[in-house]
Structure 1
Amino acid sequence: MKAAAQKDGPERSCVVTRVVKAPDDLIRFVAGPDGVLVPDLRRKLPGRGVWASLSRKAVVEAIKRKAFERSLKAKVAVPADLPDMVDQLMQRDALQALSMANKAGLVTAGFAKVEALVGSGRCLAVIAASDGAEDGKRKIGQAIRRAEAAREAEGLKARMLPVVAIFTAADLELALGRAHVIHAALAPGPAAEGVLSRWRRLVRYRTDDTAASDQNDTEDTTEPAGPNAE
């Protein structure tokens, strides 16, 4: 295993690549009471854990190599749809975070209100339904660019607002408890930061955006190397 960069806090290694990372760059799995492997997104479930890089590709590869079973050193049933299960749980977690941010009063919905919040400089992120009209997406992009131009004119540091565009209108309607949600915006606050944190993890998982150190050799080994279990 190649040396990992020094980081603060606990570290674990990916069961596939053996690269040592911080927990935020990994997904923890444990064997449930019924002996079936389950994702532990909150890292709170009891029992011996095994870690995989925050990447769908890594989870698929771990299943293919039977790496979960070897690392846990126990008979464990690994669901064939585990990669999809992780995706669904992560999306549900992100939408639950959005619902909490809404209850905290940090979500604004409706194109005009979103545009106004973006222009005010008090917007943390924009949310756009993935199945929304292209014209609406274009107008939101224009509003963001206008806000950035205004900041630059005032001599402020540019900061391109993140656009969360992976949820459908139906997802947003359910999370926010209102109909016809195509555009929304997040105001600054801890709950809103939680939404962005979960969104970024989900995007990384879907795009296999692992750390550069994961691009080294990933040849299969049968013996654990590094703290990939706990």
Structure 2
Amino acid sequence: MSGPGPEAEAADDDMEALVNGRLCIVTRQSAPPEGLIRFVAGPDGSVVADLKRKLPGRGCWVTANRATIETALARKLFARALKADVTPAPDLVDRVERLLAADLASMMSMARKAGQFVMGATKVENAVRSGAALATFHARDAAPDGVRKIDQARKAFALMSDEDEIPSFLLLTREEMDVLMGQNAFIHAAALAGQAGEGVVKRATALVGFRDGGKDNRIGGRGGRSSR
């Protein structure tokens, strides 16, 4: 007796992904939770992004980028997937981006308290040259000369250590950081080795991926290093 055909196997794969809660409602492809955003139905009939994947109730998953969420909205897939009479906000995609930015800012503040996030051009350059930095961050409106000097340090350390350059991110303007971080806003900063510092790099990478593949939001580097 022959085994199940390709269609049955595909259906089984879909079912397994659905059981694990990791099937994108747009692409119909399964992926690790880190590459998806979970959504739930709000009590007011809205669609709520559950970045921490902890909100109660039935959830659905969408690949974590603007284009895929926009497709889910255009095809009215949220109501079907959540099996609820929901009306997504017209600016849902922008709201998700703001949540990702706020999550990053919160992690930066946490890493700073843990001594794994330093600010100021001199401290950042020293961290890069010593090999302590996992990634650098600059305000989008930072002076080009300041960014260039730290980039030179990144390149010099990579050549000296025979490692890839650490990534450098241009994600938020100083004004946006003032709103999100208050007195912790910066022009130049670096995430340092450690769990909190790695959390910053992880969230920055997620925000980059959300923004149309991250073009012009990250300069150089092919991923941060793990804690030493």
Amino acid at match of 1:169: R
Distance 1:123 1:176, change over 3 A: farther
Residue pairs, 1:1-230, within 5 angstroms: 10=20, 12-152=22-162, 158-172=163-177, 175=181, 177-178=183-184, 181-208=186-213
Residue 190 of structure 1, CA deviation: 0.6
RMSD of the alignment, in Å? 2.3
CA shift digits 1:62-121 (9 cap, x unpaired): 011001111122211111110001000010000100010011111222112211111111
- Any conservation in 2 of the 1:125–1:161 contact (CA below 8 Å)? yes
Amino acid at match of 1:122: A
Seq. identity, %: 43
3-state SS of paired residue (2:133) = coil
* Distance in structure 2 (CA, Å) of the matches to 1:208 and 1:122: 27
Which of the pair is proportionally richer in helix? Answer: 2
Aligned residues between the structures:
201
Residue 40 of structure 1, CA deviation: 0.5
- Any conservation in 2 of the 1:114–1:183 contact (CA below 8 Å)? yes
* Distance in structure 2 (CA, Å) of the matches to 1:72 and 1:178: 38
Q: Which runs of 5+ in 2 are unaligned?
A: 1-6, 215-228
3-state SS of paired residue (2:40) = strand
Higher RCO by CA contacts (8 Å cutoff, separation 6 or greater): 1
2:221: which partner in 1? none
- Any conservation in 2 of the 1:98–1:176 contact (CA below 8 Å)? no
Larger deviation, residues 57-66 vs 101-110: 101-110
- Any conservation in 2 of the 1:119–1:143 contact (CA below 8 Å)? yes
CA shift digits 1:177-215 (9 cap, x unpaired): 257x31111211111111111111111111247xxxxxx
Residue 172 of structure 1, CA deviation: 4.4
2:3: which partner in 1? none
